Amino acid sequence: MNKISPSSLPPRVGRLNAGMAKQDVDVIVSFKPENSFYFTGFNPIIYSHPVIAILARDRDPIMLVHALRDDHGRASAWVPDIRLYGAWSTKVTMGPNWQDALASILGDLGVAAKTVGIEEEFISIQRLAQLRKALPDAAFTDVSPLIDHCRLIKDPDEIAQARIAAKIADLGMDTAVETLAAGGTERDVAIASMHAMNRFWAENYPDVEVCDFGSLEGGAQNGLWTWVLSGPRMFFNCDNPTQRKPQRGEAVSVLIWTIANGIHAENERTVAMGPLPEVNRRALDAILEIREEVDAIIRPGVRYRDLFEKTREGLTKRGYGANIPGRIGHGIGLGAHEHSSLDANSSLVLEPGMIFTFEPNIRVPGICATQISDTVLITETGREYLTRSAGGYLEV
């Protein structure tokens, strides 16, 4: 079994090892698709057979996959040690099921009877029972917070993919605004935007995958998505685009999520269909002013909750004290919505390498709504907006 070579593995492996040592965890066994990708670089698109990432302290990561995924896994993963379970044609495997294979691997590593980290926020009761049966002498502990904390800081390769995802999202937003100006329905706008993003991806990024993370029952072969909600449908926050045509005097939410090699970006805008009624325009102007005020303090060392409280102050000052949102942004990366939230209760402090969405908003139920979001990277000295399509007041 090879020892870790620090020069050949992503920095996140070292962060995970340090966290494991601090928490006294001997090995992590990861099933969650986003996390197993984090450990290995492999996304099978559909997870009907689990991809299991195994990280023992001071050892190279190991990937355990069904034999059906062997060729795909070896072509995609950055982990060199790939083991197989199950039966598929002439593939040589460690046994008929993942439980026996996992027990064998952990036995060889000398950790089958030690502390095994699992993702309690993800695994089912049934899977936990399977693990207990396969590893009867192990002590299990939850490492979901540890992995989430490591995921807060993006490695250089992840930041590079976020930049690509953001460029694709920008192109999609430009196309959406143009299609709204031409009088398209919600569905027309979504289709045009997604088509443009896919063409841009195909023509400019031949080595980039845009598949998202699937489930046991379905895959997500393409994660370049646009949602459009007009008028009263803005209060749905997220819904499938319809054949509704935005009316003059209405606001429209355009929400775009993209992904490049496993890393997401988000770009959201509120577009005015001609001049807005005073109540809507006032809310939109207020949130644009507040974004500028909060943006001025985004830099390393600032607390998440400081950004939230600055937003609360701005909303209250402008008469929206009864309409404070629950959060003004969230982490983004492997997940389009990662666990960390920019809210009043967060203990997190901005650090270089963090990526989050910046989306203070106003919702006055039944009256007006705003939705403007950018993907932001914290740098050594400040912040960088990865999404850069036209912002501010947009009227078509």
Q: What value does the mean pLDDT take over residues 51-78?
A: 96
Instruction: Return d(Cα 314, Cα 374) in angstroms, integer.
Output: 19
Predicted pLDDT at 8: 75
Rounded to whole angstroms, how far apart are CA atoms 288 and 274? 18
Determine contact, residues 264/282, Cβ cutoff 8 Å.
no
Q: How confident is the model at residue 216 (pLDDT cuts 50, 70, 90)?
A: confident
Residues 24-57 pLDDT 10s: 999 999 999 999 999 999 999 999 999 999 999 9
What SS3 class is residue 230?
strand
What's the residue count for the chain? 396
Taking only the tens place, the pLDDT of each residue in 273-283 is: 999 999 999 99
pLDDT of residue 247: 96
CA distance 78 to 339: 25
Residue 7 has pLDDT above 70, yes or no: no
* pLDDT at position 312: 98
The two three-digit tokens of residue 130, written as one number: 């399977």
Whose structure tokens read 């054949």? 243
Domain ranges of the chain: 11-151, 153-395
Q: Does domain 153-395 have CATH number 3.20.20.80?
A: no
Q: Side chain identity at 306, as an amino acid letter? A: D
Read off the pTM: 0.95
Predicted pLDDT at 1: 33
How far, in Å, CA of 260 to CA of 240, rounded? 22
The pLDDT of residue 5 is above 90: no
With contact defined as beta carbons under 8 Å apart, do 63 and 21 qualify?
no
Condensed to tens digits (0 to 9), the pLDDT of residues 167-192 reads 999 999 999 999 999 999 999 999 99
* Selection from 63, 51, 61, 53 nearest residue 13 by Cα: 61
Domain covering 11-151 in this structure, CATH number? 3.40.350.10
